[in-house]
Amino acid sequence: MKLRAWLSRLAGMLPGARRERERELAAEIDSHLQMHIDDNLRCGMTPEQARREAILQLGGVEATKEAYRDRSTIPFLEHLVQDFRFAIRQLRKSPGFTCTAVLVLALGMSASVAIFAFVDAALIQPLPYRDQSRLVAVSETAPDYPRALLSYADFADWKRLNHVFKSIDAYALNGGFTLSTRSGAEQAAGTRVSAGFFRTLGVSPLLGRDFYPGEDSPAAPQTVLISYAAWQRRFGGTDDVLGKTVTLNGSPHVIIGVLPRDFHFAPYGGAEFWSTLRSSDSCEQSRGCRNVFTVARLSDGISIQAASAGMQVAARQLQREYPESNRDLAANVESLRDIVVGDVRPILLVMLSSACLLLLIACVNLTTLLLARSDSRRREIALRGALGASSSRLFHQFATEGLVLAVAAGSLSLVFAEWGMRLLVSIVPEDKLESMPWLRGLGLDYRLVAFACGISLVAGAIFAVIPFLRVSAPDLADGLRAGTRGSSGTMWQRVGAKLVVVQVALAMVLMVSSGLLGRSLYLLLHVDTGMQPDHLASAQVDWLPDRYSTDEQRVRLERRTLKEIAALPGVRSVAVSLTHPVGSDWGTTGFHIVGRTDQGEQHEVISRQVSPAYFKTLEARLIRGRYFRESEDASKPPVIIVNRTLASRYFAGEDPIGKQICYAWSPRIPRQIVGVVEDIKEGSLENANWPAVYAPFDQNPAGMLTVLVRTSMAEEAVLPQVAATIHHIDRDLSVHDESTMTDRINGAPATLLHRSSAWVMGTFAGIAFVLGIVGLYGVVAYSVSQRTREIGVRIALGAEPRSVYRLILTEAARVVGVGTVLGAAGALGAARLIRGLLFGVSPWDGPTLAMAITVLGLAAGVASFIPARRAASIDPVEALRAE
């Protein structure tokens, strides 16, 4: 009954129904009156009397119609529709204003929406693990390493000793597997895990089974789980993949399962093969060989803090039991999300705050626009008020107008945000995306749309309330009188000027922040790597564990590789090292200095086995002594070269040349220092230089090598030939990580983070700058237009153009000055907050601040000069007559 009535009332709102109804009602009332008049006449009234009486009894024709109308539609909705139509009409009447407003707001909102999408993907969306908030990452901390690897033996003891985890499982730090295929050896991403790894994460295979407990024991047959991507790419996605055998690192592994499609584990983003750790492997048997990280599931009711405290107890027990290897080692428990999301969190939070600042600027900017508009509409509003529009009805109209603007901008901002997101993701190179698996969750989802709706509503509310406050009831009457001139302008100027101060200050904050980040990026890209990065390329070479097992074999391989690659066209010089420069911080060793008392102390330093031409190929700089000689092989006395940081840290005030050091591993052979080189960036780009020792490859042949090539032609062009040459030497060698040094520097994780944050902040600052300057221009120009008469009078009374300029420019300068000072103060505060993201530049960087002030000052000068010139050229006769 009720529903039917509402539906029929809703239908009554259709324009056709309305016309029909009006006609019918008019006819019905007409016939009612006629019948009543007939009756009255029969009772002997005069025609006038009869008519009057009938209308009186009806209670008025118009009132009846009004009551009937209210009943036949839904008045609230009808008003809404009317307000909406009115708002559209108003906005269409001033397309310039509407476009500017929607565009400004959409820009501001899209920045927030796009950044929120990243925050959502990285920090809000759940990881693809069961009950993921209870998962933690546990690592060891050593004095210089807050997040250090632990040995398999330590992991086994932790598993036994801890009372805080339901389960704890390990994954190895592993460069991947050498996969034997029909076309030769190939490097495949993957790692080894303890048998319960996937159970701890709460991930079940899509196909097949998980490792059963104990499948990581030495006796169990070797099995492997493959990723969904590997299943599709290498096995055609067929079900008969289970039970097939793949040869990883030379030994056959049976495929037992396929992992779910949405599974990812950021430390091994692109991993294709997951096999089991073996306690029988050589590294796993030594407590000094650290090669695993762990994940654990907290026991019920245990917080991360409690787990950390519990783990310290276990770590201390190991310290006492194994003082040799576990000295100073504590445990570090942190949320797994921190490992997955990594260094991105602080950057995202800074970006989100900046986006919010930008949104604030856009809102303030739009508010000045709306204020100017409401000022010019005072007369219209006053008139409508005088004609009986209620205050609440007027408010509804403003609110609708604000809401229409905000919703239009909100919808547009989703489109902009989508572009922005694609643009941001495109900054990240393809191969880096795998280490940011959370980016897969990026896109327009309901949280994002809700976020956009939320900020639209807030913005709409601001736009509704502010202009209404300006023209509310008290000055309605005033509005009719004031009309085109008078006091209204000065009030607006005061508010408008304050809003411009806010905009300038916020723009300043963003400009300084982006300046600092931009300088950081520049400094990072131009950081002294201790080498000449152009025309330098490198490729990693790995072999199966059972091949090249003796030193002689490895040396023979190295020599042949060097000889054959040196013969390639375009190669000027070639060398090998343990791994790429500008790489990771791994490959370290402990050492002690012969003749020093601190025998037991372990200094952890980077260690690289290199061929003699390494330093020449990199174009490193020798400080003292000499480089290695070609003849220095195992038959000659062991020699090493150290870098400047090692020399100054451990041989301060001494000449290191001729001193002897021993590596921490046995046999402890003394090695003589023969040279000191300028620091080369062996580890990650943004970290401070670490002490490093270099030994001749021929004296310490490593179990892997990286080929470095200095070319005379484009270095990319040489890489395929390098790979072909190595495959020619031995088709079972796998070649991977082929890269040019320039790409390594530009694509380093630190560079990526700095580049994306610098770009994003730069864009924000650019928009903020433009909005601030446009806002200033708007205020000054409006003020000039409001004061045309006053300025006309001044000029008529003999004011020079110069003094008119001064009048306008002083006003603008005051606004900009206050804004800049506040902005500079805010920028210093903001810079302290982003300190962690800066590289090589202090938060109080004078040149950046000066630059921002100069740019802002110049632009502000231009923006206020244009209206000032218009003011100075006002014709007094015209100005006075116009009113």
Partner 1 sequence: MDDKADVWQGTLALMVLKTLETLGPLHGYGIARRIEQTSGNLLSLNYGTLYPALLKLEQEGAIASAWGVSENNRKAKFYRLTRAGRKQLDRAASDWQQTTAILARFLSPSEDAV
- Binding of partner 1 at residue 5 (CB under 8 A)? yes
Task: Pick the stretch among 58-66, 397-405, 462-470, 490-498 that binds partner 1 (CB under 8 A).
Answer: 58-66
Alpha helix (H) residue ranges in 256-303:
282-285
Q: Does 4 bind partner 1 (CB under 8 A)?
A: yes
| Residue placing its CB nearer to partner 1 in the complex, 34 or 873 | 34
Nearer to partner 1, 68 or 395 (CB): 68
From the list 71, 209, 261, 481, which residue makes contact with partner 1 (rule: CB under 8 A)?
71
What is the CA 800 to chain-centroid distance, rounded? 54
- Cα–Cα distance between 61 and 63 in angstroms, integer? 6
* Torsion angle in degrees (nearest 10) through CA of 812, 814, 816, 818: -160
- The angle, 0 to 180 degrees and rounded to 10, between the axes of the packed helices 488-525 and 801-833 is 50
Residue 79 Cβ vs partner 1, minimum distance, rounded to whole Å: 18
Please select the residue that binds partner 1; options are 68, 322, 395, 805, rule is CB under 8 A. 68
Q: Check residue 123 for interaction with partner 1 (CB under 8 A).
A: no
Nearer to partner 1, 33 or 356 (CB): 33
Interface with partner 1 (CB under 8 A), residue from 14, 23, 26, 27: 27
Q: Which residues contact 62 (CB under 8 A, 6 or more apart)?
A: none
Yes or no: say if 576 and 705 are a contact pair by the CB < 8 Å rule.
yes
The greatest distance separating any two alpha carbons of the chain, rounded to the nearest whole angstrom, comes to: 143
Nearer to partner 1, 32 or 52 (CB): 32
Q: Residue 179 forms beta bridges with which residues?
A: 186, 248
34 contacts partner 1 (rule: CB under 8 A): yes
Between 714 and 753, how does the x/- string for binding to partner 1 read (CB under 8 A)? ----------------------------------------
Angle between helices 749-786 and 788-796 (to 10 degrees): 60
Query: Does 20 engage in binding with partner 1 (CB under 8 A)?
Result: no
Q: Does 26 bind partner 1 (CB under 8 A)?
A: no
Describe the crossing of helices 152-161 and 304-321 by its angle, rounded to 10 degrees: 120
Partnered with residue 729 across adjacent β-strands are none
320 SS3 class: helix
- Taking CB under 8 A as the criterion, the residue among 35, 77, 713, 866 binding partner 1 is 35
Segment contacting partner 1 by CB under 8 A, of 31-39, 296-304, 507-515, 525-533: 31-39
The answer to whether 70 contacts partner 1 (rule: CB under 8 A) is: yes
* Closest distance of CB 81 from partner 1, Å: 19
1 binds partner 1 (CB under 8 A): yes
Nearest distance in Å: CB 393, partner 1: 22
Say if CB 314 and CB 331 are below 8 A apart. yes
Task: Name the amino acid, one letter, at 585.
Answer: D
Buried b (16+ CB within 10 A) or exposed e, 424-458: beeebeeeeebbbbbbebbeeeeebeebbeebbee
Q: Return the residue of 43, 67, 313, 386 that touches partner 1, per CB under 8 A.
A: 67
Q: What stretches of 438-487 show up as alpha helix (H) in DSSP?
A: 446-470, 476-482
Per-residue binder mask for partner 1 (CB under 8 A), 288-307, x = binder:
--------------------
C-alpha–C-alpha distance, residues 455 and 444, integer Å: 16
333 strand-pairing partners? 138
* Residue 41 engages partner 1 in binding (rule: CB under 8 A): no
Residue closer to partner 1 by CB (options 57, 873) is: 57
Among 45, 58, 465, 833, binds partner 1 (CB under 8 A): 58
Nearest to 312 by CA among 535, 117, 140, 101: 140
Contact 111, 418 (CB under 8 A): no
Which one of 20, 28, 380, 585 is in contact with partner 1 (CB under 8 A)? 28
Q: Estimate to the nearest angstrom the gap between the alpha carbon of 305 and the chain centroid.
A: 28
For the CB of residue 60, give the shortest distance to partner 1 in the complex, in Å: 7
Taking CB under 8 A as the criterion, the residue among 26, 43, 63, 313 binding partner 1 is: 63
The count of chain residues that interact with partner 1, using the rule CB under 8 A, is 29
Look-up of token digits 């519990």: 310
CA distance readout (Å), 597 to 343, 601, 770: 40, 9, 65
- Under rule CB under 8 A, residue 76 binds partner 1: no
Shortest gap between Cβ of 36 and partner 1 (angstroms)? 6
Q: Is 262 in the site for partner 1 (CB under 8 A)?
A: no
Q: Does 14 bind partner 1 (CB under 8 A)?
A: no
**Which residue of 18, 32, 616, 649 would you call a contact of partner 1, by CB under 8 A?**
32
Based on the shown chain and the rule CB under 8 A, indicate whether residue 8 belongs to the binding site for partner 1: yes
- Pick the closer one to partner 1 by CB: 61 or 383: 61
Reduced DSSP (H G I as helix, E B as strand, rest coil) percent helix, strand, coil of the chain, to 5: 55, 15, 25
Stretch that binds partner 1, among 28-36, 295-303, 619-627, 808-816 (CB under 8 A): 28-36
3-state secondary structure of 264: coil
Residue 19 within binding range of partner 1, rule CB under 8 A: no
Binding of residue 9 to partner 1 (CB under 8 A): yes
Q: List, in order, residues 6 or more apart from 513 with CB less than 8 Å away.
A: 350, 354, 761, 765, 827, 830, 831, 834
Residue whose CB is less far from partner 1, 36 or 316: 36
Write the burial class of residue 482 (CB in 10 Å: 0-12 exposed, 13-18 middle, 19+ buried).
middle
- Pick between residue 77 and residue 99 the one whose CB is nearest to partner 1: 77
Choose between 27 and 717: whose C-beta lies nearer to partner 1.
27
Orientation angle between helical segments 801-833 and 846-872, nearest 10 degrees: 150
Residue 601 in the binding site for partner 1 (CB under 8 A): no
Residue ranges that bind partner 1, judged by CB under 8 A: 1-2, 4-5, 8-9, 24-25, 27-29, 31-32, 34-36, 38-39, 57-60, 63-64, 67-68, 70-72
